[in-house]
């Protein structure tokens, strides 16, 4: 029974903390968010130099061979600074799929470039009416003349505008909601028939809708076995759920800290508003929610890493708490800032926005609670 980090993990945490402190004051972040790409390629090179881009990849590919706890450590610190660089999309989702797929052609071709920071990736798994169900796939891939031909549309693809390579889920057989018959393909963003329309989300991310019109993919760019992709998709998303939950935890901790600090200096009626018990108790509720999130994060990360039977249930419990606690902390942080909490120039509302986006990502609290109940009452 031990929840302390290894020496390596502590060093990793310190290096991410330092990066965020040195580079991510709120004004710098605003400037970056307003740029075309929505993040800094210079920072991305720093990530590469510091070895962060190598974390989930096995040593054979020049990676660090890390697990969910390692990416958790990174993401919590990134969450504190509302960091915009597409670590989740390129390293954990795109990279995670490559790592787990067992397709050596693709692994040899791209993992090295991810690690050195020269390749951006994305995972296109959302469709117009799929909501949070991974197997709701209408996009189709048909095999003819030694290639696959993909037709369909993917929405809200994180990092979709900057990605050089994109993993797309497409149906090679069966009906829209079947669990079988889904395959994964690595496509090039400049391939004929790929149309990318990008737009911005409220948390500063640049995402894209991607339409696919007779896009050709060579058979060696399919990940894993034909029609058997759902399991690996779910595995990668499971790991990513730990990562974004850690990011949410970091964001909640920072939002709480900002709020506590603000109420200690903001004066009304001749006293600091933090002296009012009614506000103190609300900040204690925020603090409690943060503690519960951390506890469920450690619970889920440990059981996922240990391959426990309870891992999926623990994971859904975590995501429910992340959603609910994130809303509570975000909204209370804004409310306790009064009118200033409503302004774009103050950081606190931006934490609330990111927390809301994380609630939705990979399944919101209501969705995850239904899944949780199914496991708890089967």
Partner 1 sequence: MDTTFTPEERVFRDEVRTWIKRYWTEELANRIADKSTFKEAQTELQKLLNDQGWMAPGWPEEYGGTGWSVTRRYIYNTEMARAGVLGPADPMVFGVSMVGPVIYTYGNEEQKKRFLPKILTSDEWWCQGYSEPGSGSDLASLKTKAELEGDHYVVNGAKIWTTYAHYADWIFCLVRTDSSGRKQEGISFLLIDMKTPGIKVNPIIGIDGRHTLNETEFNNVRVPKENLIGEQDKGWTYAKSLLTHERLYVANVSQSKRSLAELKKLAEREWAGGQPLAADPYFQQRISDIEIDLMALEFTELRVLSAAAAGKEPGAESSVLKLRGSEIAKALQDIKMDVAGYYAGIDDADNNANHSFANKTRIDFMYGRASSVYGGTNEIQKNIIAKAVLGF
Please report, as ranges, the residues that interact with partner 1 according to CB under 8 A: 1-5, 69, 260, 264, 274-275, 277, 280-281, 283-284, 287-288, 291-296, 298-299, 301-303, 305-306, 314, 317, 320-321, 369-370, 372-373, 376-377
Query: Is residue 352 within 8 Å of 255, Cβ to Cβ?
Result: yes
Chain position carrying tokens 């993909």: 150
By C-beta, is 72 or 98 nearer to partner 1? 72
- Of 44, 188, 56, nearest to 116 (Cα)? 44
By C-beta, is 218 or 370 nearer to partner 1? 370
- CA-atom Rg of the chain in angstroms: 21
The least distance separating partner 1 from the CB of residue 272, rounded to whole angstroms, comes to: 9
The least distance separating partner 1 from the CB of residue 120, rounded to whole angstroms, comes to: 31
Rounded Cα–Cα distance for residues 340 and 265 (Å):
14
By C-beta, is 205 or 303 nearer to partner 1? 303
By C-beta, is 25 or 366 nearer to partner 1? 366
Rounded Cα–Cα distance for residues 82 and 350 (Å):
8
- The CA distances from residue 224 to 48, 106, 107, 120, 146, in Å, are 27, 11, 12, 21, 17
By C-beta, is 117 or 326 nearer to partner 1? 326
The least distance separating partner 1 from the CB of residue 58, rounded to whole angstroms, comes to: 20
By C-beta, is 196 or 317 nearer to partner 1? 317
- Tokens representing 42 are 């210079």
By C-beta, is 133 or 272 nearer to partner 1? 272
Query: Is residue 164 within 8 Å of 99, Cβ to Cβ?
Result: no
The least distance separating partner 1 from the CB of residue 6, rounded to whole angstroms, comes to: 8
By C-beta, is 105 or 373 nearer to partner 1? 373
The least distance separating partner 1 from the CB of residue 319, rounded to whole angstroms, comes to: 10
216: CB partners within 8 A, 6+ apart: 147, 148, 149, 150, 191, 192, 193
Phi then psi for 272, rounded to 5 degrees? -65, 135
By C-beta, is 181 or 323 nearer to partner 1? 323
The least distance separating partner 1 from the CB of residue 286, rounded to whole angstroms, comes to: 9
- The CA distances from residue 287 to 300, 314, 337, in Å, are 20, 21, 16
> Which of helix, strand or coil describes residue 313?
helix
The least distance separating partner 1 from the CB of residue 263, rounded to whole angstroms, comes to: 8
Beta bridge partners of 147: 144, 218
- Tokens representing 258 are 């900002």
HSE-CB at 108 with a 13 A cutoff on CA atoms is 4
Alpha helices in 81-207 (DSSP H): 95-101, 104-116
The least distance separating partner 1 from the CB of residue 233, rounded to whole angstroms, comes to: 25
The least distance separating partner 1 from the CB of residue 329, rounded to whole angstroms, comes to: 13
Rounded Cα–Cα distance for residues 73 and 68 (Å):
9
């Amino acid at each position: 029974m031990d929840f302390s980090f290894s020496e390596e993990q502590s060093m990793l945490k310190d290096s991410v903390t330092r990066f965020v402190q040195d580079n991510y004051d709120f004004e710098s972040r605003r400037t970056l968010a307003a740029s075309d790409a929505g993040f800094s390629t210079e920072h991305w090179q720093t990530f590469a130099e510091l070895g962060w881009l190598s974390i989930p990849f096995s040593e054979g590919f020049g990676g660090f061979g890390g697990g969910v706890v390692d990416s958790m450590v990174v993401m919590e610190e990134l969450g504190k600074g509302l960091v915009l660089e597409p670590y989740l999309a390129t390293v954990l989702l795109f990279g995670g799929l490559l790592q787990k797929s067992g397709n050596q052609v693709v692994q040899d071709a791209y993992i090295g470039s991810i690690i050195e920071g020269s390749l951006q990736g994305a995972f296109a798994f959302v469709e117009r009416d799929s909501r949070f169900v991974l197997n709701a796939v209408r996009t189709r891939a048909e095999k003819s003349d030694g290639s696959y031909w993909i037709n369909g549309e993917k929405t809200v693809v994180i990092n979709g505008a900057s990605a050089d390579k994109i993993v797309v889920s497409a149906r090679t057989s069966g009906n829209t909601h079947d669990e079988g018959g889904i395959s994964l393909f690595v496509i090039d963003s400049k391939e004929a028939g790929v149309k990318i329309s990008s737009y911005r989300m409220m948390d500063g991310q640049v995402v894209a809708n991607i339409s696919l019109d007779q896009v050709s993919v060579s058979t060696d760019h399919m990940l894993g076995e034909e029609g058997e992709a759902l399991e690996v998709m779910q595995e990668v998303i499971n790991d990513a759920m730990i990562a974004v939950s850690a990011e949410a935890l970091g964001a909640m901790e920072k939002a709480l800290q900002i709020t506590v600090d603000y109420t200690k200096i903001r004066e009304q009626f001749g006293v600091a508003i933090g002296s009012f018990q009614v506000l103190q108790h609300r900040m204690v509720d925020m603090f409690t929610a943060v503690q519960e999130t951390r506890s469920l994060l450690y619970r889920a990360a440990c059981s996922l890493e240990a391959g426990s039977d309870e891992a999926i249930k623990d994971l859904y419990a975590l995501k429910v708490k992340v959603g609910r606690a994130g809303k509570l902390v975000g909204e209370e942080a804004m409310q306790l800032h009064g009118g200033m909490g409503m302004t774009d120039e103050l950081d606190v509302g931006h934490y609330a926005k990111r927390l809301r986006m994380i609630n939705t990502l990979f399944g919101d609290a209501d969705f995850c609670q239904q899944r949780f109940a199914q496991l708890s009452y089967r």
